Amino acid sequence: MSKMYKTIGLIGKPEHEGALATIAALHHYLEGNDYIVMIETSVANKLNKADAHTFDIVDIGKQADLAIVVGGDGYMLGAARVLSSFDIAVLGVNRGNLGFLTDLSPDNLIEPLEAILDGRSKTEQRFLIQAEVYRHGQLKSSNSAMNEAVLHPGKVASMMEFAVYLDDVFMFSQRSDGIIVSTPTGSTAYSMSAGGPIMTPTLNALSLVPMFPHTLSSRPIVVDGDSEIRLVVATNNHEELQVSCDGHVILAVMPGDEIRIKKCKYTLRLVHPLDHDYFNVLRTKLSWGNKVY
């Protein structure tokens, strides 16, 4: 019987002892079952596996059928921004805190992994967004985000002014600490903490969540996922402004700049065990909607 996944990449946090131990166990199991294993170079160096097939994450994306990412959601977000550009399935092993994107537990790994490798799994496509900063009509910088793109001042508790357009139609102007543009995947992250809605992960939608607006009437709004959102920064703002992509990548913004946010052309193909239940994840991770009797 032919294998569903023949070549498997192992990616993880090289400075995390637990992640390294899990990757070492995965490497031993996969090689023992005749899979071609590609280990991310930084991880292989930490594991002293000089004789292993070591590659960077881009080569893993190009050549592997499945990437197993070991770490927390933050590490998965970074890997996702790269791996989404390739036709590769992605599976997460949780070595962090919440683990919304990393399904498998390192304490119960082999049995569910065997089922997934045998094809007993389900997949879903998660879209990313692209944030682009324009200055005087010229593209200055851009990056992708799986969770959210956030326009905000560079220092804490400093308000800014901006206008929001949806597909070139004016929506509103605002004076606030910024705004979060979130994907459904990111709706349980920073957006939720700011009072945004929880969106089921396969929904084709984006949410716009104001951050501490200086008004009593501002509310989050959910819009079509194929919309282009345009944020125009007022010229009277201070110069220390930023767009943060997943809290990792920072794009510098100047007064008068325009930020365009829209869906990426690539999606991330996430693999889940057959018993994966999104609402159970919400109840388990966030104590959301637990039964009261």
By annotation, the residues acting in catalysis are 73
Alpha-carbon distance of 254 to 244, in angstroms, equals: 14
Question: Does residue 40 contact residue 9 with C-beta atoms inside 8 Å?
Answer: yes
Q: Is 200 labeled as ligand-binding?
A: no
Q: Is 188 labeled as ligand-binding?
A: yes
Q: Is 191 labeled as ligand-binding?
A: yes
Q: Is 29 labeled as ligand-binding?
A: no
Nearest CA to 71 out of 37, 43, 112, 35 is that of 43
Q: Is 175 labeled as ligand-binding?
A: yes
Nearest CA to 146 out of 89, 80, 92 is that of 80
Alpha-carbon distance of 144 to 64, in angstroms, equals: 22
Q: Is 177 labeled as ligand-binding?
A: yes
110-117 and 17-32 helices, crossing angle to 10°: 50
Q: Is 44 labeled as ligand-binding?
A: no
Alpha-carbon distance of 176 to 194, in angstroms, equals: 13
Residues contacting residue 254 through CB under 8 Å, at least 6 positions apart: 135, 233, 239, 241
| DSSP-based three-state secondary structure for 199 | coil
- The partner residues of 213 in beta bridges, in order of sequence, read none
Q: Is 193 labeled as ligand-binding?
A: yes
Annotated binding site: 73-74, 147-148, 175, 177, 188-193
Annotated binding site for NAD(+): 73-74, 147-148, 175, 177, 188-193
